[in-house]
Amino acid sequence: MKKILVSAAAIVGLSASLFAAPITLYQDTETGAIYTKPGEGRIKLGNFISAEEIQKERETDIKKELGIKVESHVPTLKFSGTHYLGYTYTDNKRDSSKNSSKFETRRNYLQVKAYWNEHDYLRTTLDTFQNDDGSWLLRLKYAYIYISDILPLTGVEFGQVHRPWIDWEEHHGWLYRSIAKTFIEEGEGAHLTDSADLGVNFKTKTDYFSSEIGVYNGAGYHHKHEGDRLSYEWRLTANIFGTGKRHVHATKDEYLDLSFTGQINNQKKYDWYGIHGVYNQPMFLLAGMYITYEDYVTDKSHDGWTVNGEFRPIEKWSIFARYDNFEYNTNDLTRYETIAGAAYIYNKNVKLIGNIFYINDDDDAKDETKYMFTTEVNW
């Protein structure tokens, strides 16, 4: 009986692939052999169709119902999105008339990667931002080709690409971009660079060492580039626990990284250099950074530092804090930021965050406290 079933399955599969329609099968009463035509001593078994053909018909019906047809010149398209949706109440300590209460959409990324093989792809990322008159506009964040192993253990991004530092820190050290940018980028922090620019970025990954070294326009992706001056930028990281090739997860992995990063930015006419360290295990994270920069125009040097941590006492819950301190003009005035809050992982796509954000600087230009609630969505 087992041989009969195997033979029948083979015939059904062959017939379905040839005719893509139900077929009638007959069985010899003496030998048990299966036939597609009637004959002496054969009994009719019935009409059959392959499981593969049924699945194809179901997929066709679904496409017809949805009206969707996707065509591409590459075998794989990957779509994703990131959204930071929030509410902020701002208490201005110096002028209560400047208090504000508003709902916000702080980031709306729509991203597509077109893979022509397992590792190489073209990426396009679009983001929304609000103009001064309140209008919402669309901005190009990333648009680059990535080719892996263009050099030994090294891939390259070419186009509108990642700058070496910020994306790395957002995945290893400061995990709350939805409420505040990294110290280097934050407007009330160092405010020395942003996350993307037109240029080329060489990315090397080994177990115990990783790096990004690039040449860029230098003005950043939402500023105008002028003249022939470029920016030379880098990140060099010692991955002490051998995690340099991996995409680490803070709630699961243990890692210890020491980095040297910076820019020689001839476009903006300043240099900056930074040293960063981070240690993480599933229970907690601790990170810190010291930077120094020199302004070509004023011939003045300044420095600053930041420290942040996260404690995860129970599954899905975390408590976090950050402190920034940075000199920001020729009179060595300093601005300060303090952030403290708690987060809850609702599911693999959604995180809920509540925090306080205090900002102050020496010239009294800003002294305010923000009370924030954020829903962070990734899909």
Q: Is the pLDDT at 11 greater than 70, yes or no?
A: no
Q: Tell me if 271 sits within 8 A of 264, measured CB to CB.
A: yes
CB 156 within 8 A of CB 202: yes
pLDDT at 5: 43
Angle at 352 between CA 347 and CA 354, to 5 degrees: 160
SS3 content of the chain, % helix, strand, coil (to 5): 10, 55, 35
Q: Tell me the percentage of the chain whose pLDDT exceeds 90.
A: 72
**If pLDDT is split at 50, 70 and 90, which confidence band does 206 have?**
very high
Q: Are strands 231-239 and 136-151 parallel, antiparallel or unpaired?
A: unpaired
Please report, as a single letter, which amino acid is at residue 375.
T
Q: What is the pLDDT of residue 223?
A: 92
Q: Quote the mean pLDDT of the chain.
A: 90
Q: Is the distance from CB of 111 to CB of 123 less than 8 angstroms?
A: yes
Q: Residue 199's closest CA among 187, 213, 184?
A: 213
Q: Specify whether the CB–CB gap between 259 and 275 falls below 8 A.
A: yes
CB atoms within 10 A of CB 264: 14
Residue 10 has pLDDT above 60, yes or no: no
CA distance 18 to 15: 5
DSSP H or E segment with residue 51? helix 51-66
At a CB cut-off of 8 Å and minimum separation 6, what does 60 contact?
none
The correct CATH number of 76-378 out of 3.40.50.2000, 2.40.160.10, 3.40.50.300, 3.30.479.10 is: 2.40.160.10
Compute the average pLDDT of residues 206-234. Answer: 96
CA angle 353, 357, 360 (to 5 degrees): 170
Least confident of 50-59, 75-84, 120-129: 50-59
Q: How many helices (H) does the chain have, and how many strands (E)?
A: 3, 19
Residue 275: pLDDT above 60? Answer: yes
Mean pLDDT for 47-69 is 74
- Measured between alpha carbons, how far is residue 135 from residues 108, 129, 229, 273, 306 in Å? 15, 8, 33, 37, 34
Q: What is the pLDDT of residues 106-136, one digit of tens each?
A: 999 999 999 999 999 999 999 998 888 889 9
Taking 90 as the threshold, does the pLDDT of residue 34 lie above it? no
Split at pLDDT 50, 70, 90, the class of 69 is: confident
323-371 per-position pLDDT tens digit: 999 987 767 789 999 999 999 999 999 999 999 999 998 876 789 999 9
68 or 303, greater pLDDT:
303
How many CB atoms are located within 10 Å of the residue 180 CB?
25
Residue type at 129 in one-letter notation: F
Judged by average pLDDT, the poorest of 163-177, 233-247, 262-276, 363-377 is: 363-377
Helix 2-19 to helix 51-66 angle (10° resolution) is 40
Q: Output the pLDDT for position 21.
A: 65
pLDDT over 70 percentage in the chain: 92
Rounded Cα gap, residues 318 and 344, in angstroms? 7
Listed range (43-52, 54-63, 73-82, 370-379) with the worst mean pLDDT: 54-63
Best CA proximity match to 53, nearest among 86, 6, 83, 13: 13
Comparing 46-50, 105-109, 149-153, the range with the smallest average pLDDT is 46-50
Grade residue 59 by pLDDT with cuts at 50, 70 and 90. confident
- Residue 194's pLDDT band (boundaries 50, 70, 90)? very high
Averaged pLDDT for residues 237-248: 97
- Please check the confidence at residue 1 and state whether its pLDDT lies above 60: no
Report residue 41's pLDDT band, with 50, 70 and 90 as the boundaries.
confident
Q: For the chain, what are the domain ranges?
A: 2-66, 76-378
Q: What is the pLDDT of residue 277?
A: 98
Q: Which two tokens stand for residue 292?
A: 């120094």
> Which of residues 70 and 152 earns the better pLDDT score?
152
Q: Which tens digit of pLDDT belongs to each residue from 308-324? A: 999 999 999 999 999 99
